[in-house]
Structure formats: structure tokens, C-alpha cells
Amino acid sequence: MTINRRTILKAGAAAAALPLLGSRAFAQGEPLKVGFMLIGTPNDNGWNFGHAQGAKFMKDTLGELVAEPTIVENVPEGPDCERVLRELAQSGHKLIFATSFGYGDYVIKVAQQFPDVKFEHATGYQRSDNVATYNARFHEGRAVCGTIAGHLSKTGKAGYIGSFPIPEVVMGINSFVLAARKINPAFEITPVYISTWNDPAKEADAARAMIDQGIDIIAQHTDGPAALQVAEERGIVGGFGQGADMSAFAPKAQLTSIIDHWGPTYVQSAQAVIDGNWASADRWPGLKEGEVQIGPYNESIPADVVAAAEAVKNGQIDGSFNIFTGPINDHTGAEKVPAGVTLTDAELLSMDWYVEGVNPPA
Amino acid sequence: MQFRLEKRLEPSRLMLYATPIAAVLLTMVIGAVIFSLIGYDGIGAVREIFFTPLTNAFKWQDLGVKAAPLIIIGVGLSIAYRANVWNIGAEGQYVMGGLAATWVALSTYGMSGWWILPLMMLAGVIGGAAYAAIPALLKTRLGVNEILTSLMLTYASVQLVYYLVRAPWKDPMGMGFPQTRIFSEAARLPTIIPGTIVHMGVPIAVAVALIAWFVMSRSVFGYQMKVVGAAPHAARYGGFSENKTIWLAMLVSGGLAGMAGMLEVAGPFQRMVPGFPTNYGFTAIIVAFLGRLNPLGVIFAGIVMAITFVGGEVAQTSIGLSSSATGVFQAMMLFFLLAGDILVRYRIKRVAPAAEARA
């Protein structure tokens, strides 16, 4: 299925025509304008696609209450994004989603100039009266992927392509390795950071280099399916979709995928702005709330492995299992989390150390 | 009826100034047609990209801030290109200037004093010039093509940014994100119009262009650059050293790119981040040519390019035009300009079929 912005706009335009017929009263008299600022394009089939899908879900759910969502794509993390944020605020958008980590400083800055506009910053940590943050517990999905990797890897070595060594990414790496080592205690990975969220050429180069070094499973914390395509081409055991189901690009190699389902959170925020009760907060839902979902399992995965993966998933949903419960050793082998203790959210959000089994990148 | 290109005895001054304007106009017309044909609102696209940034007073500050680095780098490149020295690595020199300035800002962190910004400026200029000295040295000593070396050094400079912000310069409070801390007050460029984002770099850019115009048109240095570029044999005969010209061209263009790097890092960024290299150095190549390698022309070309960037974002928010459209418009502008260049040296002559037969 391909949903691009044009179809979203079409759906939006059709819905926008409805108020002309209806007689419904609006809190603000006219539909709420919602803006989305993306670091890539919705056709990356990953992170940005997920947010565009969320925007569409919001429009489809709230109908004539919201205008067709405005999506500004390819906005770099720097002064350029400040300009885009101001442009959105000045053109009447009362709710603006900034969906990349590096937008943080600029969101805070622009939000001060537009106190009546609500800003929400995905994956960020800085809040103010009109700036909220939101994220998804991707690391819960990483635990499911890690379980599969631990079972299926023959070499016991996996590759992991990261963007930047920020807590969000480090957390995912640790979750993946902890889960894999519960199955194969010798499992190890060497992450590679490529200093960008979306550069298919760099992602593919990193994947090739790691496969040449003997890994047979690959995971990535970047925006697109490039690494999976390399996995497919080289015929290694496989990899995982990130942000969206990427099986179309790697039908054999994608073992499963972590799907971000941002729609409900966007509906909730837009509704709160319309009702006039929006408040700055930090939201961090996960598998349980359905914001993080596990895509279909590849047919090639044996039934017992699927069962183990499902057990990890369901354990996280009902709260009986937490991947960050000790004992956990750091990469030097020293005990970091004692048995029975679970890391708090605050500890996760400032995570800057690797678990045993990760060879820290230079 | 047929047409033939006929060489002009002298390059046409009219065409010299008319073709850049024609290139911009043609870009608008052809752009509107193309985008209409593929199903967008083509006229709306041209309106939003080229006119809204000019008619909306809120956007003027953005134009100034975006144009400033393009103008400063473009002026330096126009001087080098006049001398037939093809510095393609202004992006790398811009980055090194930004890094040198960052080094000063971090070394003086927490200090105050009027001398910090001038020192950062000096470091930026030296950083950019020093980085441009590498291709100059390779060219003058070993005859290595400066296009290749300056271009490749750009990629090396970007890796250096990644290294520095990940390890030695990482912000201790940055949650692990690879970036330096925000500079202290004394290392940040002041805004010159309260309530806007217009910083010192904007008037500096105009001043740089004016000074460069004066130097190029009135001094021996400017004369040397132009003569070496236009007629290397005559220049040698006249006693101008070719190597010295290469050095001067690289150091001036590199130094100005470094200055732009300093102004960007101390102004809009206020810290070094992995996203610091934003292709200003490459875009400035288009600016230099669009400005006819004339420092005054570069001011206008810089503003035109800034309009397309700012307008591209307006078009995304208002009519949902893809961000790639901006690149298409910029590329079309350079294409039409280069294509139009032929009219400077040639004239189009109508050829009657009879004359054709005789010929």
C-alpha cells in the first residue's frame, strides 16, 4: 500500500469540504490548522512515513474539525528549521509537531515568540508552557527483535546502524542486545553511527561493511529501508523494519518490523487544542497503548521463535516483563543494575552506557 | 528560415547584464509550465517561491540572514574564478572557519569581553584560508588540479566536525547528543534590529561585497586577478606571477568562506552541530556565476537564491509543493544562465535560405 502526501491531501480536501454542508458548531469557528515538520520525506517508508500516516489518521478521525494537515519535509536540524517553525506559526497553524530530535532548541525559541501556538516535539526532552514532548517506547519493540536475533543468528554477531549516540538510540541498542543475550549469551554487536537520520547511501555502505565483517543480522535506527535492502541482496539471515513495515523492500530479509502508530496521539493532541484544554506534558506510550506495534513475522521464522517473540511482546504489554530489569552488566562486565531492580524512565532517558555484548563504537 | 550564431567582435555588455535577469524570468515561466503539467499549481508555485518572500515583510529578516553567507562566500569565489582559479571547496573552508571560531568560543567559554567576537572572526578567516592553502600548495608545487583537491577536502572537513562534536567538544549537558554547548553571550553575534533575527553578518556581507568591488575595480590586485584569468600569457609577460595569483585567489576565497562560517556559527547556530555544513559553499558557486563574478552582482544573486530557499518553504506550507521543487528551480536558473552566456559572445543571426545555399 502506498499512501503519499497527495492522497492525504485529497482525502483532506474532501473532508474539508464537509463543513460547507454541515451545521456543527466549532469551538474556534474554523478547522484547526495542524503543521508537521519532517526531517525527511514521507516516502522514506520509515520514520517520516510513520508521521505522515499519523497526520492522515488524525485528519480521517477528526474530519472537519481539522484542516488538511500541512507537512513540511526535508527540514534540516539547524537554523533553517527555526524559519519553518515561524512560517507555520505565522500562517495560522495552532498546533505544530516537530518530529526530529535536533529541532529541540529551535522549538523552544520559536514557542516563546508564539505563546498561543502549541508545539509538540517528538523524542525531545525540553518543555515549556506551550511545548510538549512525546515519544514512543521503541525499545520495547527492540526487545522483540533482539529475541528473534538471538534465536536466528548463526554467527552470534549482529550489526546495528545508529544515527547519533543519544539516549533514545543507545536505549534501543541495549534493549536489543539484552534480549538477544537471554537466548545466546555470546551474542554481540558493534554499532556504527552515521551522523544522519536519513542517507540511504551511507546506510547501505555501513550495512555492506558490517556484513563483510561477519554479521548475519542487521538492525538500524535510521529512517529508511536501505540496510534491509542490502540484507536482502546479500542473503544474510535478515533484519528488522524500523518505523514502518518495510517488507515490500526486503520480503525475505525483513524478519519483522517495529511500527510506529502516531495517529492516536495526534488525534488526542488536536482534540485537546480544539477543546481548549491542551497542557504541556511528556507522553511516552509503547506496546501496551498500541503506539508501538510489531509487524507480521516473516514466514521463514520457526514457530517456536515466533512464540518466544510473542511472549516477550505480551509480557511487555501486560507488564510482567521489562527488558531493563537487572541483573544488567555494562560493556566492561561490571554490574550496572542489580538483580530485581528496574531502570526508571528518567534513567532510561539519560542512558549513556552500553550493556555487556556491545562493543562501544569509537 | 534558419538561424546562425555569429561571434561578436566584443562581448556584449547588454547581454552580460541581461542574461542573468532573463535566466530568472525564464526559470519562472518554464517552472510554472512544468509544475502545471505534472499536476501542481504552477503559477502558485512561482508566486509563492519568488514573490511571497518579497511581499511578506516577516520574511525579509529570513532573506537577509540566508543571503549573508551566500554573498560573503560568493564574493570570494567570484574573485578566484575571475583569476581562473577553480575553488570548488568553499563548503569545506566555510566549515573550517566555523570550527576555528568554535574553538575560540569554547576556549573563552564563560568569559566576557568585546574582544571575543573579533578574535573568533580572525580565527574563522585564518581557518578558512589555511584550509584553502592546501589545494593552493598542491597546485603550485605539484600541479594538482585544485578542483579535485578542494572538493575532496570538503568531505574531510565534515568528518572533522563529526569527530569534534562527538568526542572532545561534546556538550556535557547535551544528553549525549553530538553538539557543543551553546556559546556564552560574548561569543554570540548580536542582532542589530531588535525583535528580528537579523544579525551583524548581514551588514558585514554588504560591506564585504562593496570593498571587494572597490578592490577589484580600482587596485593592482584586482587588475592582476582579472588579467591572469583573462590572458595568462599577457599576464606573464607583464610580470604577474601565476603562482602568486593562485595563492591570492585561494587565500581570499578561503578566508571569506571561513568568515561566513564564523558568522553562521556565532549567529544563527550559536553552537557547533553535525548539521552545520548546509551546502552554503556549493550554493555560493551558483551565486557567484549568477552575479556575473562581480561583487555587486553577487549581492543581488545572493538575495535571489535566498528568495528561492525561503519561498520554497512557503510553497510547502501554503500549496503543498514538494521540497525538491526548490532544487529544481535553482538548477533551472543556473542552467538558463549558462545557456544564455553564449549570447554574450555570440549574436543570433537570421540566415536567409538563399544565403545559406550560397554559403
**DSSP string over B207-262:** HHHHHHHHHHHHSHHHHHHHHHHH-HHHHHHTT--HHHHHHHHHHHHHHHHHHHHH
Q: What is the pLDDT of residue A332?
A: 93
User: Position of cell 528496574?
Assistant: A342
Q: Is A235 exposed, middle or buried (0-12, 13-18, 19+ CB in 10 A)?
A: exposed
Nearest by CB to residue B177, choosing from A5, A75, A164, is: A164
Q: Which ranges of chain A would DSSP assign to H, the alpha helix?
A: 5-17, 47-62, 79-90, 104-113, 138-152, 167-183, 200-212, 226-234, 263-275, 303-318, 345-348
Q: Does A263 touch chain B (CB under 8 A)?
A: no
Q: What is the pLDDT of residue A20?
A: 39
Q: Does A4 touch chain B (CB under 8 A)?
A: no
Q: What is the pLDDT of residue B1?
A: 65
Q: What angle do CA A59, A128, A67 make, to 5 degrees?
A: 15
Do A334 and A246 lie in one domain? The reply is: yes
Q: Is A358 exposed, middle or buried (0-12, 13-18, 19+ CB in 10 A)?
A: buried
CA distance linking residue B321 with residue A310, whole number of Å: 42
Shortest Cα distance, chain B CAs vs residue A75, angstroms: 9
Q: Is residue A357 part of a domain?
A: no
Q: Coil, helix or strand for B349? A: strand
Q: Helix count (H) and strand count (E) of chain A?
A: 11, 14
Which CATH number fits the domain that encloses residue A88?
A: 3.40.50.2300
Q: From B269, which residue of chain A is nearest by alpha-carbon distance?
A: A79
Residue A26 CB contacts under 8 Å (≥ 6 apart), including other chains: A19, A65, A274
Q: Which of B323, B326, B328 is the best mutation test for A, with the most CBs of A within 10 A?
A: B323
Shortest Cα distance, chain A CAs vs residue B234, angstroms: 47
Nearest by CB to residue A72, choosing from B264, B268, B313, is: B313
Q: Does A130 touch chain B (CB under 8 A)?
A: no
Q: Does B63 touch chain A (CB under 8 A)?
A: no
Q: Does A102 touch chain B (CB under 8 A)?
A: yes
SS (H, E, C) A134-186: ECCCHHHHHHHHHHHHHHHCCCCEEEEEECCCCHHHHHHHHHHHHHHHHHCCC
Contact A244, A45 (CB under 8 A): yes
Shortest Cα distance, chain B CAs vs residue A167, angstroms: 7
Do A149 and A115 lie in one domain? The reply is: no
* Cβ contacts of B101-107, under 8 Å, gap ≥ 24: B101/B127, B101/B261, B101/B262, B101/B265, B101/B266, B102/B164, B102/B169, B102/B180, B102/B265, B102/B271, B102/B272, B104/B187, B105/B183, B105/B184, B105/B187, B105/B265, B105/B266, B106/B169, B106/B180, B106/B181, B106/B183
Do A117 and A217 lie in one domain? The reply is: no
Structural domain containing residue A107: 5-134
> In b/e form, how buried is each residue of B187-208, taking b as 16+ CB within 10 angstroms?
bbbebeeeeebbbbbbebbbeb
Chain B residues within 8 A of A101 when measuring between CB atoms: 177
Q: Is residue A218 part of a domain?
A: yes
Q: Coil, helix or strand for B60? A: helix
Q: Does A347 touch chain B (CB under 8 A)?
A: no
Contact B100, B262 (CB under 8 A): yes
Task: Inspect the interface and report whether the beta carbons of A78 and B278 lie closer than 8 Å.
Answer: yes
Q: From A4, which residue of chain B is nearest by alpha-carbon distance?
A: B322
Contact B46, B241 (CB under 8 A): no
Q: Does A91 touch chain B (CB under 8 A)?
A: yes
Q: What is the pLDDT of residue A362?
A: 64
Do A90 and A162 lie in one domain? The reply is: no
Q: From B327, which residue of chain A is nearest by alpha-carbon distance?
A: A74
Q: From A362, which residue of chain B is nearest by alpha-carbon distance?
A: B167
Do A161 and A204 lie in one domain? The reply is: yes
Q: What is the pLDDT of residue A257?
A: 95
Task: Inspect the interface and report whether the beta carbons of B176 and A87 lie closer than 8 Å.
Answer: no
Q: What is the DSSP string of B290-341?
A: HTTT-HHHHHHHHHHHHHHHHHHHHHHHHH---THHHHHHHHHHHHHHHHHT
> Per the structure, how many domains does chain A have?
2
Q: Consecutive 10-residue runs of chain B (359 residues): their mean pLDDT?
A: 80 82 92 89 89 88 94 97 94 98 95 94 98 96 94 96 90 81 92 87 96 91 84 80 91 98 95 91 93 93 92 85 84 87 81 57
Q: From A103, which residue of chain B is nearest by alpha-carbon distance?
A: B275
Do A127 and A144 lie in one domain? The reply is: no
Contact A39, A66 (CB under 8 A): no
Task: Inspect the interface and report whether the beta carbons of B268 and A167 lie closer than 8 Å.
Answer: no
Do A201 and A127 lie in one domain? The reply is: no
Shortest Cα distance, chain B CAs vs residue A162, angstroms: 12
Q: What is the pLDDT of residue A231?
A: 94
Task: Inspect the interface and report whether the beta carbons of A165 and B178 lie closer than 8 Å.
Answer: yes
Do A200 and A317 lie in one domain? The reply is: yes
Q: What is the pLDDT of residue A21?
A: 38
The DSSP symbol for A217 reads: E
User: Position of cell 497526520?
Assistant: A55
Do A126 and A17 lie in one domain? The reply is: yes
Shortest Cα distance, chain B CAs vs residue A106, angstroms: 10
Q: Does B247 touch chain A (CB under 8 A)?
A: no
Task: Inspect the interface and report whether the beta carbons of B320 and A71 lie closer than 8 Å.
Answer: yes
Chain B residues within 8 A of A193 when measuring between CB atoms: 166
Task: Inspect the interface and report whether the beta carbons of B314 and A101 lie closer than 8 Å.
Answer: no
Q: Is residue A312 part of a domain?
A: yes
CA distance linking residue A87 with residue B242, whole number of Å: 49
Q: What angle do CA A15, A16, A19 make, to 5 degrees?
A: 100
Q: How would you list the strands of the sheet with A157-162, edge to edge?
A: A188-193, A157-162, A217-221, A238-243, A254-260, A292-294
The parts of chain A modelled with pLDDT lower than 70 are 1-28, 362
Which phi-psi region, left, alpha or beta, contains residue A353 (left: φ > 0; alpha: ψ -120 to 50)?
A: beta
CA distance linking residue B259 with residue B302, whole number of Å: 16
Chosen domain end from A134, A149, A174: A134
Nearest by CB to residue B176, choosing from A84, A170, A195, is: A170
Do A205 and A236 lie in one domain? The reply is: yes
Q: Which of A38, A80, A90, A125 is the best mutation test for B, with the most CBs of B within 10 A?
A: A80
Chain A residues within 8 A of B57 when measuring between CB atoms: none
Q: What is the pLDDT of residue B323?
A: 80
Q: From A38, which residue of chain B is nearest by alpha-carbon distance?
A: B323
The DSSP symbol for A215 reads: -
Do A12 and A143 lie in one domain? The reply is: no
Q: Does B70 touch chain A (CB under 8 A)?
A: no
The domain ranges of chain B are: 69-294
Q: Is residue A264 part of a domain?
A: no
Which phi-psi region, left, alpha or beta, contains residue B278 (left: φ > 0; alpha: ψ -120 to 50)?
A: alpha
**Is the complex ipTM more than 0.90?**
no
Chosen domain end from A134, A157, A187: A134
- B315: nearest Cα among B60, B57, B51, B38: B51
Do A235 and A247 lie in one domain? The reply is: yes
Chain A residues within 8 A of B318 when measuring between CB atoms: 91
